[in-house]
Amino acid sequence: MRRLDRALWIVGVVCLGTFILFTLQRRFYQEELNDTFDQMVEAPAPAPTSAPEAPARRMREGDLVGRLEIPRLSVSVMVLEGIASRTLRLGAGHIPGTPLPGAIGNSGIAAHRDTFFRPLSRIETNDEIVFHTPSKKSTYRVVSTKIVMPNDVEVLKPNGKDTITLVTCYPFYYIGPAPKRFIVTATVGETASVEAGAGSGK
């Protein structure tokens, strides 16, 4: 019995230590990304040339995309390219295959429900979502929330509008791998009636 108690105590300490380590790593990395982003915004634009414009650089996993803010919920998170495990541990992730925020189309942004996107449990229709890139600021309004199964990719379909779709696991306080996904859809220049997508989708 003593051995079992000791083993459980050791497991508990290891789990707590891992949680603290990941929390500190996440906080440090977010601060570092914020500083990097601010420097990118402040850097002067290159002088125009008559040479043909070079093709846009292809984003790689972990590249810095921008900053996502939800003012009413005090959310501010740096967004990286991709949805690999390490990427989502350090920030929110831009879902590959969807356009970057600020472009016409449906841009998907994912993050964990127990870290950066936990406040989405309190999001409401018409809440403001702001996305900053080094060259542009886009302001969206929440038009709907819904709960879907993990294989429902219809929520990321293009709709001809400048749209941002936030994705996280659901239920928010589920223990273990959550079985569903919580979806927030927001568009530029639109507001929605309360009936169209009121509340947090619960």
Within the chain, which residues score under 70 in pLDDT? 1-26, 42-57, 190-202
Number of domains in the chain: 1
Rounded Cα gap, residues 92 and 60, in angstroms:
15
Q: Report pLDDT for 158.
A: 87
Q: Is residue 189 part of a domain?
A: yes
Question: Exposed, middle or buried, 190 (CB in 10 Å: 0-12/13-18/19+)?
Answer: middle
**Per-residue confidence (pLDDT) for residue 10, from 0 to 100:** 53
69 within some domain: yes
8 is a domain residue: no
Residue 38's pLDDT is 76
- Output the domain CATH number for residue 151: 2.40.260.10
**2 domain residue, yes or no:** no
Nearest to 100 by CA among 66, 148, 76: 66
132 as an active site residue: the answer is no
- Give residue 33's pLDDT: 80
Q: Which domain does 175 fall in, by range?
A: 64-197
Radius of gyration of the chain (CA): 19
Q: What is the pLDDT of residue 178?
A: 93
CA–CA distance from 40 to each of 51, 75, 154 (Å)? 23, 21, 34
Query: Which position among 15, 94, 112, 132 bears the catalytic label?
Result: 112
Does the active-site annotation cover 15? no
Which pLDDT value is given to residue 187? 95
User: Is residue 179 domain-resident?
Assistant: yes
Report whether 158 contacts 105 (CB < 8 A).
Answer: yes
Q: 41 lies in a domain? A: no
Whether 30 is in a domain gets the answer no
Of the listed 15, 94, 132, 169, which one is catalytic? 169
pTM of the model: 0.77
| 166 falls within a domain | yes
